Structure 1
Amino acid sequence: MNAPISAALSLFSRLPPAERFHVHARAFSAPLEAIAARVPPGGTVADVGCGHGLFSGLLALSDSQRTVHGVDPDPRKIEWARQGPGWLPNVKVEVGTVETLAERLPGHFDTVVVSDVLYLLPVERWPDFLREARRLLRPGGRLLVKEAEGDGTWKHLKCLAQEVVMVKLLGRTKAGGALVLQSRGAVEALLRRTGFAPRETVALGAGYSTPHILYVAEAVAEAPASAP
């Protein structure tokens, strides 16, 4: 394992074994370092749906001039995050959502990261979620959305089966609707409709059993208030 992610994992050494296992599983199953490499240096970053805070910790440790603000609606995960990366001077974590953060800190962030969150929401909520992410950003700010690609492959089907176990059987992750994976074309079109210009779409599934895909977009205009 590479040094940056190992350093981030060490932040969780005081957590109970079950929580440490969950964080380590996340580190091994997702291309976190590849996502982090596309976050501009310094600045303020919102990690929306931060969970235990592993990615927040990775971003903070890799750049001491960067400030990371993580929010998650699950109080249990935020409590674990406070006991891990929450100790870092350039990390703040709190219970919240993209809506509550945008209400309090509109236009505050240089970068917003949304990693494995959208698929947990009903598809009809995706546009409003992305508009709220747009509200968080300064003009020209960067949005990074990491999802699993809905490509119909065995990785797609495996990903959905895995999440059914995590969400509905084990209760490790909270979901607000059906588990849905969208095609890259659908996500890129949605980004354009909600005030973003897609700049890069990167397939990151090589070496993983999940069809990871990263969308990098720039906030270029106010999103239409009623666009579907």
Structure 2
Amino acid sequence: MSTLLEQALALYAGLPAAERFHVHARASSAPLLAVAERVSGGIVADIGCGHGLLSALLALAEPSRTVHGVDPDPRKVTWAREALSGLQQVKLAEGTVEDVLAPALPRACDTAVVCDVLYLLPEAKWPAFLRTVHGLLKPGGRFLLKEVEGDGSWKHRKALAQEWVMVSLLRRTKASGGMVLKPRAEMMALLRDAGFTVREVVDLGRGYTTPHVLYIAEASAP
């Protein structure tokens, strides 16, 4: 485990066991460090921040950076605020990117990060969601979209089953959609339609039982 990840996880030591377990499970099952190391700039939006683990990594990696985290789950935001209370540069809010960040940070962010969020939304809302994220970014700003690839593999099917347990059975994850996982060609088309230029697609599934894929895109001028 990296020193940075150890420092971030240590912030959650005072939380109840169930919340600590959720954060540690997230740390071990998703390539958050690989995402964090590709973030640039001093103002970052972490959309769908959950317990705030990625926000913590981003703030600890660059103390001069301001991280704006938002999530619609009030329980997760409450625990995130408690765990990250010592990181003054992390600003956490309950709500959606449309209601909270879009009015407050138009064209203000150097990077926007969305990790494992899109599939939880109704598919019909994806284009508008991506356009809203585009509106947060400065011209040329970076968008990091980490999703599970819908490649038809056993890892794909396993990821869907796992999320069904978390969303429907345990109710540990808040969702309003049908848990759709798209192949990368469709995701790249969606990003282009929202005004992004896709610069790179990175496979991050090696060593994981989930087909993680990261889309690195750039916001065009409005």
Structure 1 portions without partners, runs of 5+: 223-228
Aligned residue number for residue 226 of structure 1: none
Question: Match of 1:179?
Answer: 179
Q: How much does 1:96 deviate?
A: 1.8
Write the distance in 2 (CA, Å) between the matches of 1:146 and 1:166.
Answer: 18
The Cα shift of 1:104 comes to: 2.3
Structure 2: runs of 5+ lacking an equivalent: none
Deviations 1:108-128 (A, max 9, x none): 111000000000011111100
TM superposition score normalised by structure 2: 0.98
- Does 1:64 pair with 2:67? no
Partner of residue 194, structure 1: 194
Partner of 2:126: 126
In the alignment, what sits opposite 2:217?
A: 217
Preserved CA contact (<8 Å) 1:196 1:221: no
Q: Counterpart amino acid of 1:201? A: V
* CA-CA distance at 1:154 after TM superposition: 0.2
Kept after mapping to 2: 8 A contact 1:49/1:115: yes
- Matched residues in 1 for 2:221 and 2:43: separation? 20
Q: Which amino acid aligns with 2:152?
A: G
Could you say what the CA RMSD is over the residues aligned between the two structures, in angstroms? Answer: 0.8
Matches of 2:85 and 2:115 in 1, distance apart? 19
Separation (CA, whole Å) in 2 of partners of 1:179 and 1:56: 24
2:6 equivalent to 1:46: no
Q: What CA distance in whole angstroms lies between the structure 2 residues aligned with 1:161 and 1:196?
A: 31
* Deviations 1:136-156, CA, capped at 9 Å, x for gaps: 111111100000000000000
Would the alpha carbon gap of residues 30 and 57 (structure 1) be closer, same or farther in structure 2, given more than 3 Å must change? same
Q: Partner of 1:87: helix, strand, or coil?
A: coil
Give distance in 2, aligned partners of 1:20 and 1:9.
Answer: 8
Task: Measure the CA separation in 1 of the matches of 2:86 and 2:43.
Answer: 17
Alignment of 1:110-189 (within 5 A): 110-189=110-189
Contact 1:46 1:68 in 2 (8 A): yes
Distance in 2 (alpha carbons) for counterparts of 1:30 and 1:137:
25
The total of aligned residue pairs comes to 221
Identity %: 62
- Residue 84 of structure 2 corresponds to which residue in structure 1? 85
Cα–Cα, structure 1 residues 198 and 86, in superposed 2: closer, same or farther, change >3 Å? Answer: farther
- Which amino acid letter does the alignment assign opposite residue 73 of structure 2? D
Counterpart amino acid of residue 149 in structure 2 = E
Give the counterpart letter for 1:210 in structure 2: T
2:88, 2:170 → 1: CA distance? 33
For 1:1-40, what aligned pairs fall within 5 Å after superposition?
1-40=1-40
Q: CA deviation at 1:89?
A: 1.8
Which contiguous aligned blocks of 4+ residues in structure 1 show a shift greater than 4 angstroms? none
Distance in 1 between residues matched to 2:14 and 2:91, nearest whole Å: 18
Deviations 1:33-80 (A, max 9, x none): 10011101x410000000000000000001112110100001100000
